Amino acid sequence: MSLAAPALAASRPRGEALSYDLAPHALALAMFALCAFSPAIFNDSDTWSHIATGDWMLAHRAIPHVDPFTFSVPGKPWVAHEWLSEILLALAYKAGGFVGVALLTGAAAGLAIFIVARAAARDLGGPALAAVGTLAMLLVAPSLLARPHILALPVFALWTQALFAARDRAPPIAFALLMTLWANLHGGFAVGLALVAPVALEAVTAAPAGGRAALARAWAVFALAALVAALINPFGLEGLLFPVRLLDLHALSRIGEWAPESFAHPNALEAAILALIGVALTRPLRLPAIRLVMLLGLLHLSLAHARHEMLLAVIAPMLLAKPLAEALGAPGSTGRLDRRAGLVAAALAIAAIRLLLPAPTIPAYASTRAALAALPAAITAEPVLNSYGFGGYLIFEGVKPYVDGRADMFGDAFLNNYAEIARGEPQALKGALAHEHIGWTMFSPGQGATAAMDALPGWRRVYADARVVVHARDGL
């Protein structure tokens, strides 16, 4: 068996083997360039609140434990679980503005894709590897935003690779410390903890009968070490439990990334599912039972919540690489030189070009800034009732919003009432305006609240463009 890989590599034409080995590099560079040059990674106002939170921590040399940004829930306890990512985003912004943030995001996303594709390349090669890597990129693309989940993505990929590589033995205890880094970057660390169980179960059931007990103990020790490592965060047990409590929010379903995937238009998830069905129906594609259950679970999560397609993008290529290689006759080419120096040089060249070009224009943020610039100080000094999607922009500009993208901060009751406000329900809207002593509002032109404010006595439009409409109370 040890002679099989060299024999297969030697049987290929030299140029063919070289191109297969370069697939992870090409995919990583493509992802890096996409982030570097696409303003779409800034299409979420949470990016601005993350940078502002990082700035707050750098200025105060502390991690916030209560909300410092909104006026609607002043002093409410806050688990700022993404604190380390937010500091990195703030430092990137200080170093290079939005270009710096784009390059940091691209480096993280590109590294994650490289780790995934390189892990798959150990078993899978040729056009099949390129196709699987491209599908992984496309599955990440809808969530490709300058936010903490992307900064944590390479840690997720590295963790997954290490678990699968160590399936016939437990990973070293020291490796569990990677969970500490992950737990302070993003709440997705919970997925990493959950992934240990099925990989360990597969390893134990596949081991010789005489060695199963010892292997089970080794995996249990590693799982416990990973759990303890995740507890090393500024919030302790609260930080560990945060992902569970977040998923308990019913109002998450109203947020786009937490909504079920839609197949009204062609998308990457549909392409991935159809490709998998096509291979399964035409080739002898076989997965071990535990890996099949894992794949089906990932597909379920991806269908239930669009943001979970990233999980499928990272884990599925490693699950499917060997079965696909056997089904398609496309073995990997692990014996070739990695050429990582070339990858780094190409990435630096892309970064240099990006730094020479003007910073990207982000229309929604530009509209928010234009509105604030057009308003008299007497208006902006008053409390604002704002659209959920504008909260991050306002925080970045030093304005305390009514609501922002931290769903965990506000809870179901608040967000359910806010949904009625945004729809323009008269009782909810008038109640918020009176209770919070609102002086002005900022909503999108198409929101129900905008039309309701147009018809509300005692209020007038003071600013409007294609993305933002501002109303102010008469007398301001």
CA distance 113 to 42: 20
Give the Cβ contact number of residue 108 at 10 Å. Answer: 25
Half-sphere exposure (CA, 13 Å, Cβ side) for 403?
Answer: 23
Largest Cα–Cα separation, the chain = 84
Summarize pLDDT for 392-411 with one digit per residue, the tens: 999 999 999 999 999 888 99
**Burial of 471 from C-beta contacts in 10 A (0-12 / 13-18 / 19+):** buried
Residue 467 φ then ψ, to 5°: -125, -20
| 344-353 mean pLDDT | 93
What's the Cα-to-Cα distance from 459 to each of 391, 449, 454, 475, rounded to whole Å?
A: 21, 13, 7, 9
Which has the minimum average pLDDT: 238-242, 338-342, 399-403, 434-438?
338-342
Put simply, whether the predicted model's pTM sits higher than 0.85 gets the answer yes
Per the structure block, which two tokens stand in for 416?
């359910």
Residue 16's pLDDT is 44
Cβ atoms of 137 and 27 within 8 Å: the answer is: yes
Interhelix angle 340-356/23-37, rounded to 10 degrees, is: 10
Paired strand residues for 443? 469
Q: SS3 for 22?
A: coil
Q: CA 330, CA 22: separation in Å to the nearest integer?
A: 15
pLDDT at residue 1 is higher than 70: no
pLDDT tens digits, one per residue of 93-148: 999 999 999 999 999 999 999 999 999 999 999 899 999 999 999 999 999 999 99
- Report the pLDDT value the prediction gives residue 251, as an integer from 0 to 100: 81
Domain boundaries, the chain: 4-354, 363-473
Containing 273, the helix (H) or strand (E) segment is helix 268-282
**Mean pLDDT within 465-474:** 96
- Average pLDDT over the chain reads 91
Name residue 357's amino acid. L
Mean pLDDT of 274-303: 94
**Amino acid identity, position 50:** H
β-sheet bridge partners, residue 471: 441, 461
Strands 384-386 and 459-464: unpaired
Tokens linked to 470: 């501002």
